[in-house]
Amino acid sequence: MKIKSDFVTNSSSTSFILATSEEPTRDFLRDKFGIRDKFPLDFIFDNLISAIEREREEIHTYIEKHYSGMTVDEFLESKGFNKSTVDLILVKIKQGEKVFYGHLSSESGDSISESFFCCESFLVVNDDFYFNGEISGW
């Protein structure tokens, strides 16, 4: 166990959107992250994938649970995503892609990797894979 002895920062929680053409299994996500073989630092990405698996929820289900009455575009805009992102997500939903919403937390306690990515800003866009953590980052 480590005890933090210097200043203590506020915890942070940031949103991500994941859109895929197929079920985002662990193997699918490793593949889309570009990982082909095991290597010593792959745990960083495996821990991120674990956080995604744990936190992701189909976006309509998420909105119904937590923001009942809101549309997808109203919800995403309220979370700070820009109009072009919102429009893209609406297109993906219309095209039948699986769209998920979730959070990464700096204090989930599950992995330091999750805290790391929680404070980063990233966007991955492929034909069959979209992963947006752009509004993350300090």
Partner 1 sequence: MKVIELSGRYYGFVTSTFDLYSTCETFLRSSKVIQGSFSYNYLRKIFYGIFLNAEDLCGIYEEYYYDEYYDFYEFLYKKELLEKDDISIIRCELEKGLRLLRLYISDNSYNLETFMEYEEDFLEKFNAMIQNIEEVSL
Q: How far is the CB of 81 from partner 1 (least distance, A)?
A: 19
* Euclidean distance between CA atoms 8 and 98, whole angstroms: 38
Rounded distance, CA 127 to CA 135, Å? Answer: 22
Type of residue numbered 121:
S
130 touches partner 1 by CB under 8 A = no
Tokens at 92, concatenated: 């993906």
Query: Which residue of 3, 34, 68, 69 would you call a contact of partner 1, by CB under 8 A?
Result: 34
Q: Does 110 bind partner 1 (CB under 8 A)?
A: no
Q: Which of 113, 130, 132, 134 binds partner 1 (CB under 8 A)?
A: 113
Q: Does 37 bind partner 1 (CB under 8 A)?
A: yes
Candidates 22, 80, 87, 112: give the one binding partner 1 (CB under 8 A): 112
- Buried b vs exposed e over 97-113: b needs ≥16 C-beta within 10 Å? bbbbbbbbbbebeebeb
> What Å distances lie between residue 59 and 4, 7, 26, 39, CA to CA?
36, 36, 19, 33
Closest distance to partner 1 from the beta carbon of 68 (Å): 33
Among 58, 82, 83, 122, binds partner 1 (CB under 8 A): 122
Q: Which residues bind partner 1 (CB under 8 A)?
A: 2, 32-37, 39-45, 112-113, 115-116, 119-120, 122, 124, 131, 138
